[in-house]
Amino acid sequence: MSNGDLTGRNVVVTGAAGGIGAAIAARFAAEDRVVSLWDLDPRVHATAAALAAPRDGADSDDIDCSPTASVHSQEVDVSDADSVRRAFDQLTAAHGPADVLVHAAGVMVGGSALELDAADWARCLSVNATGTMLVTQRAAADMAAAGRGSIVVVSSNAAAAPRVGMAAYGAAKAAATAFTRSLALQVAPLGVRVNLVSPGSTDTAMLRDMFGGTPLDDDAETALLDGDPAVYRLGIPLRRIAAPADIAAAVHFLASDGARHITMHDLRVDGGATLDM
Ligand SMILES: NC(=O)c1ccc[n+]([C@@H]2O[C@H](COP(=O)([O-])OP(=O)(O)OC[C@H]3O[C@@H](n4cnc5c(N)ncnc54)[C@H](O)[C@@H]3O)[C@@H](O)[C@H]2O)c1
């Protein structure tokens, strides 16, 4: 296989309409792979089309699609069992079962722990935790049947570090992380590796929405880099906010054969923001 990877060619990335998921898809599309981009947002089709189209490489984070890659897109709601089942069935019919699954779909639900209502809590758990269970469970079962495969779940450093205003999100990501690690343990003897990448602040729509929806201005950047003692938030020791490509590089490594002896690992990619607690 020309990508030099024994793991396999058929890659699925959820949450791939933009942000971290799109950067991960781009990373795999630069190799000889069949890359399927899944997202609830119909913009996933435009993302896939842009990825497959030749470009001039004006942005330093852009990665060119390999001429031997093939890029596909599908609208999938990861929190809906029927939608997930249909997506895997269609994938299998068209390209065979996934060899690599990267689960990056997620939502931020912020708000005070004292005022959180049950509906917001349920929505947060439904996408971030139940979605992780539904997608990774099916992928792991298919991979176990094939005797090989690699799964990477994009969780969050908020799963481990308490954050004011992120109680539901942190709880949902902690549930996703715990499920993922138990799944990893169960399928390890069956030839399937399952790992986590837990990002910190990464410059995507999710982070920008927390600061008003525009590109991060200097004040927002300073607040993130310096932290905020008033809410016990540490800054970022490496003094930069991650680009989606930084997270994609870590995911790509864990998914690849270079990580063939790594499973159940949770790789924190946050510039040291949580002191790796
Ligand atoms: N950006 C950050 O600072 C940061 C930090 C830590 C963890 N993360 C995690 O990284 C992952 C990617 O986030 P991002 O920063 O690229 O944000 P993003 O909002 O750009 O991307 C998330 C994607 O998930 C999709 N999605 C949401 N609900 C879905 C559903 N039910 N079914 C299918 N797709 C759905 C969205 O449409 C979106 O395209 C998320 O899991 C997020 O929690 C992000």
Instruction: Look at residue 7 in the predicted model and tell me its pLDDT.
Output: 67
**CATH architecture of the region 10-269:** 3-Layer(aba) Sandwich (3.40)
The H-or-E segment that residue 233 falls in is: none
Spatial separation of the C-alpha atoms in residues 246 and 211, rounded to whole Å: 21
How many beta carbons lie within 10 A of that of residue 60, not counting itself?
A: 7
236: pLDDT strictly greater than 60: yes
Residue 73: C-alpha distances to residues 6, 31, 46, 154 (Å):
24, 17, 9, 19
Per-residue model confidence as pLDDT tens digits over 64-104:
899 989 999 999 999 999 999 999 999 999 999 999 999 99
Ligand 1 atom at shortest distance from the alpha carbon of 41: 37
**Residue 169 is a catalytic residue:** yes
Ligand 1 pocket test target in 37, 44, 47, 204 with most atoms within 8 Å of CB: 204
- pLDDT band at 3; cut points 50, 70, 90: very low
Instruction: Look at residue 225 in the predicted model and tell me its pLDDT.
Output: 97
| Residue 82 burial (C-beta neighbours within 10 Å; 0-12, 13-18, 19+) | exposed
55: pLDDT strictly greater than 90: no
Ligand 1 pocket test target in 85, 86, 88, 107 with most atoms within 8 Å of CB: 107
CA atoms within 13 A on the CB side of 153: 38
Residue 12: C-alpha distances to residues 48, 88, 98 (Å):
12, 10, 6
Q: Assess whether the C-beta atom of 73 lies below 6 angstroms from ligand 1.
A: no
- pLDDT band at 57; cut points 50, 70, 90: low
* Residue 260, token pair as written in the block: 């063939």
Spatial separation of the C-alpha atoms in residues 228 and 211, rounded to whole Å: 15
Q: Assess whether the C-beta atom of 176 lies below 6 angstroms from ligand 1.
A: no
| Residue 163 burial (C-beta neighbours within 10 Å; 0-12, 13-18, 19+) | middle
Helix (H, G, I), strand (E, B) or coil at 79: coil
Q: Assess whether the C-beta atom of 177 lies below 6 angstroms from ligand 1.
A: no
Q: Assess whether the C-beta atom of 18 lies below 6 angstroms from ligand 1.
A: yes
Q: Assess whether the C-beta atom of 154 lies below 6 angstroms from ligand 1.
A: yes
Residue pair 37/47 in contact by the 8 Å Cβ criterion:
yes
- How long a stretch of residues is the chain? 277
Residue for token digits 């708000």? 111
Instruction: Look at residue 2 in the predicted model and tell me its pLDDT.
Output: 44
Residue 193: C-alpha distances to residues 7, 84, 130, 185, 251 (Å):
10, 21, 20, 9, 13
Q: Nearest C-alpha to atom 38 of ligand 1 is from which residue? A: 15
